Structure 1
Amino acid sequence: MHAHSFVVHSWLFTDTHRQEAMMKLITVEEHYDTDANIAQFKQYSTVKNNNPRQDQLRPDLVDFDRKIAYMDAHGIDMQIISDAGNSPQVLPDQYAVAGAHAQNEALAEAISHHPDRFAGLATLPANLPEQAAEELDYAVTKLGLKGAIISGSVDGQFLDAPKFDPIFAAADRLGTTLYLHPGIISNQQKAVLYDSEAYSALTATMMAGAMWGWHMEAGIQLVRLITAGVLERYPHVKIATGHWGEFVPMFIERIDGFGPFVSKLPLKFSEYYRRQVYLSPSGMFTTPQMQLALAEVGADHIMWSEDYPYVQTGDTTRSFLEQAALTQPEREQIAHGTAEAVFDLEV
């Protein structure tokens, strides 16, 4: 969720592309916060905020008029917004349920003033799965939110653990979407995988976070879910992932190759993946990743995202997609069609 360096490969900008410049654009991994949650996080969370720009970005997180001004300036019609990372999910259990509920109420209220520009994903007290399932049901059926976001492992636990089944059961019953967002990895993971005497502590922190580590953990999260049979048990859950799938698309065939040795499931890993998982770039506007995602899952499983306000690419958010080597149906599907289906948006 930190700023990235982007390598953008442009294609010939044809007259056809100019005519298509006004296509609807929905971005799906965009973020908000509230001052109440920021204060609660600072007071109670034992998970450190490792984003040095968090305070600087506060106006862009909490002020929805600023969001709309940015969207208007750069041709973004709608954002699907969520509280990622520094959310009530990581609060101690005694604060997580009330904190998530308050955050969801605040999000629904903000969306109600701009329903044509925003839709939202709920925050869940994920370490308390029964209460999380209740909050998901309430957020979707009463508040009109379009699913929920879960950031990283949950207090060091991966979501394939049986204790988390109530969350997936509720999402399955609702036919809704769970966005699996990266989260700050555990201190134990960081110590083993990224700390080194050969480089600085700051380098280790970046490697363990937005540069590599939390994306790798998010990919592991998804591989474990499918391998453990969670998507077999809950076929109506839609899973959204950012950053071009958090490394998983590159290994789909490799994982399938080991399937007979590790899985008794009726379908291949790739079949569950292509049935229920949806990808977006999260501001990583790069040609090779887009080409790989298209080859592995197709445009009807790809959505668009910028990761605002942590990533702000301005006009590139639209121009990269407009100039990409896609058919017009593929371009429209990625720009808004897939998001409309995944998040049950009114067309």
Structure 2
Amino acid sequence: MIMKGKIALEEHFATEEYLGDVKRFFIREGEDVWQRAKGIMCDISGRRLELMDEAGIEKTILSLSSPTIQAILDTKEAVDSAKKVNDYIAEQIVNHRDRFDSFAALPTQDPEAAARELERCVKEYDFKGALINGFCNIGDPDVPVYLDDPRNIPFWEAVESLDVPIYIHPRPVTETVRREVFGDNHFWMETAAWGWHANLGTQILRLISSGIFDRCPKLQIVIGHMGELLPMFLWRITNRCNSHKRDCQADLPINQYFQRNISITTSGNCSTPALMCAMMEMSTERIMFSTDYPYESMKQAADWFDNIPFSDLDKEKMGRTNAAKLFKLDL
């Protein structure tokens, strides 16, 4: 039975300008797959809407696909490109606001500019926050600048003041790390099968241990793919940090931030055991439905979610009301 009214919030698009960034995710499947994917990535309100209807998805929050803005090496270009993308998607959804909202793309290469762009998009376009594709690069593609870098503190303070969530999404690691960890024979695990999640889970722990959630206790972060491997290890992470704190700057036990500051989505991870683990570690209040379209199937995600053997109350929270509350959606 289809649950109507679901909200999905890790749902990607690309523009013609950024198709090159996503080509690597499709081209190994064949040129024909890539040719089909190009149209799907750029579609906003055509086939996407039809699939939403079939899957019982009432509203989608759109986001520019990974890595895009975060991978632009020139800071001024990143600032200009983010504004251009945000203006574009605002125009695309203006006549479909009953079905679409959007996250802002941000130039995290310049934290002050990122804060200004977020404020502009929230106030001018009513965007529901932003999606950041993990670390950024400034000048050097092999040097990552992580979100826990002290230069980002004013940005996080501005986010808390605006009272909007930030979705943090994975991106490919730098080329040096790719060669060292995955080599030339393990592309299969470099991105969505493993590497993205291990890498982003590490970035989230860096953010927590920097103390930013103690400095900004109302800050809200969302991560996808059933929590980027973290719920399964949350007890061990917390326990080891409690007994061997070392240089962790967080004031609270690590797991408490997952009950106060961090929410997760089911995007691209249709595993009932994994969901049960997340529910037991974080509660249903911190879990939201998503599909990871067009990299994953809306139908597969919806069919799984609609038929998980949980109460209608839990499914209503995870499928709709948690997102509506967190993102202040007009439904």
Distance 1:319-1:138 versus aligned 2 partners, 3 A rule: same
Partner of 1:214: 196
Query: 1:146: how far off?
Result: 0.5
Query: Once the two structures are superposed, what CA deviation does each residue of 1:262-317 show, in whole Å capped at 9, x if it has no partner?
Result: 24543111111210111112121111111111111111111111111111242x33
Q: TM-score, normalised by structure 1?
A: 0.86
1:11 match? none
User: Is 1:113 matched up with 2:95?
Assistant: yes
State how far apart, in whole Å, the 1-side matches of 2:130 and 2:249 are.
Answer: 29
Shift of 1:69: 1.6
- Determine the C-alpha separation between the residues in 2 that align with 1:302 and 1:120: 19
What is the alpha-carbon distance in structure 1 between the residues aligned to residue 194 and residue 3 of structure 2?
A: 35
Q: Does 1:87 align with 2:68?
A: yes
Gaps of 5+ in 1: 1-17, 196-200
Question: Which amino acid letter does the alignment assign opposite residue 164 of structure 1?
Answer: N
Provide the rounded CA distance (Å) in 1 between the counterparts of 2:82 and 2:36: 23
Contact residue 168 and residue 221 of structure 2 kept, 8 A? yes
Partner of 1:14: none
Contact 2:4 2:57 in 1 (8 A): no
The match for 1:322 is 306
Show structure 1 runs of 4+ deviating over 6 A: none
1:7 maps to which residue? none
Distance (Å, rounded) in 2 between the aligned partners of 1:52 and 1:330: 35
**Equivalent residue number for residue 147 of structure 2:** 159
What's 1:303 paired with? 288
> What is the deviation of 1:25?
0.7
Per-residue deviation, residues 71-111 of structure 1 (Å, max 9, x unmatched): 12322211111012142232222311111001001111122
Aligned residue pairs total: 314
Number of the residue aligned with 1:228 = 210
CA distance in structure 1 between the partners assigned to 2:251 and 2:298 by the alignment: 43
Letter in 2 for 1:251: F
TM alignment of 1:120-135, pairs within 5 A: 120-135=102-117
Whether 2:326 is the aligned partner of 1:342: answer: yes
Correspondence 1:284 to 2:269:
yes
Whole-angstrom distance in 2 between the partners of 1:95 and 1:266: 38
Change (3 A) 1:240 1:55: farther
* Paired residues for 1:119-268 under 5 Å: 119-155=101-137, 156-195=144-183, 201=184, 203-260=185-242, 261-262=244-245, 263=248, 265-268=250-253
1:331 to 312, 315, 326: 315
Partner-residue secondary structure (3-state), 1:246: coil
Give the 3-state SS of the residue equivalent to 1:138 in structure 2.
Answer: helix
* d(CA) in 1 for partners of 2:107, 2:241: 33
> What's 1:50 paired with?
24
Cross-structure match for 1:23: 4
Q: TM-score, normalised by structure 2?
A: 0.90
Q: CA deviation at 1:49?
A: 4.9
Q: CA deviation at 1:320?
A: 1.5
The structure 2 residue matched to 1:71, chosen from 48, 52, 55, is 52
SS in 1 for 2:132: strand
Partner residue, 2:41: 61
Cα displacement (A) at 1:187: 1.2
CA-CA distance at 1:206 after TM superposition: 2.5
Q: SS of the residue aligned with 1:240?
A: strand
Which of 97, 103, 106 is matched with 2:85 structurally? 103
